[in-house]
Amino acid sequence: MSCPKAYQLTYLSEEHHAGSGNAFSDYGLFTHLLLDRWAKGELEAWQLPIEWEAGYEAAITHYFPPFMKNYDEKARQLGRDYFASFDSFPGYDIVASEHRFTTMIGPYPFDGVVDLVLKDQKDRSLLVVDHKTKGLSSMQRDFGLFRNQLYIYAAHVKDQYGKWPSKLAFNMIKTGDLLVEEFSEEQMQKTIDWAVSTIDKICMDFEFTPNVENFHCSQICDVRSQCDEYMING
């Protein structure tokens, strides 16, 4: 979460702040739902594009920003294309899908949901997959930050299955790319150090100053209606 104020309102406030939601989160949730139903055997791969079309309008309950001309149809088509060509991760068996967990990172407990854990049919190594509906260029730009998320999942995999995953991957829905990297214990330690340092700062006298950015504040942030800074200046 890039905004300290949003983090405070979401995770540290004594009051419960229900998320406002947006079309981008609707889109991601619907995509994850279909892939989870496939992974759990509730849908066959050939049914995914049918379910995408049948459920799209009911699932996307918010509007995409008006300045993103025709983006609703573009996003719908990208999802349609992805599911029409979905290859079911050949060569892998499904181990877990949308699995909620708590794992320790240094002295701190982390809660999370790992989208997909796969096992290689030949060497039995594990692959951790996170489904992303971000654009490819945006993901590539911020890959270092998002990679930390995969390594948090890797810590859970080690706890759950007794070994590190051999590979980590982002499944890029809008482009069909699978961004894969080999697991590195060195990078795992860097992620632990980053996470512990970040939480240490939060636990100190940290000032939760909003990162006011027009697009994110007005279109993305789930707690924008509870943020004084946005309500005054938004």
**Helix (H), strand (E), coil (C) string for the chain:** CCCHHHHHHHHHCCCCCCCCCCHHHHHHHHHHHHHHHHHCCCCCHHHHHHHHHHHHHHHCCCCCCCCCCCHHHHHHHHHHHHHHCCCCCCCEEEEEEEEEEEEEECCEEEEEEEEEEEEECCCCCEEEEEEECCCHHHHHHCHHHHHHHHHHHHHHHHHHHCCCCCEEEEEECCCCEEEEEECCHHHHHHHHHHHHHHHHHHHCCCCCCCCCCHHHHHHHCCCHHHCHHHHHHC
Burial class, 69, CB count within 10 angstroms (exposed 0-12 / middle 13-18 / buried 19+): exposed
pLDDT band at 92 (very low <50, low <70, confident <90, very high): very high
The mean of the pLDDT values for the chain is: 86
- One-letter amino acid at 183 equals F
Q: Where are the domains of the chain?
A: 18-84, 92-203
- Tell me the average pLDDT across 79-90: 97
pLDDT digits (tens, 9 = 90+) for 107-116: 989 889 999 9
- In the chain, the percentage of residues whose pLDDT exceeds 90 is 61
Q: Are strands 92-105 and 108-120 parallel, antiparallel or unpaired?
A: antiparallel
Q: Residue 37 pLDDT > 60, yes or no? A: yes
**pLDDT at 143 (0 to 100):** 86
pLDDT band at 66 (very low <50, low <70, confident <90, very high): confident
- 127-151 confidence digits (pLDDT tens): 999 999 998 888 888 888 899 999 9
Lowest mean pLDDT among 79-88, 192-201, 206-215: 206-215
pLDDT, tens only, 42-63: 999 999 999 999 999 999 998 8
User: Residue 223 has what pLDDT?
Assistant: 59
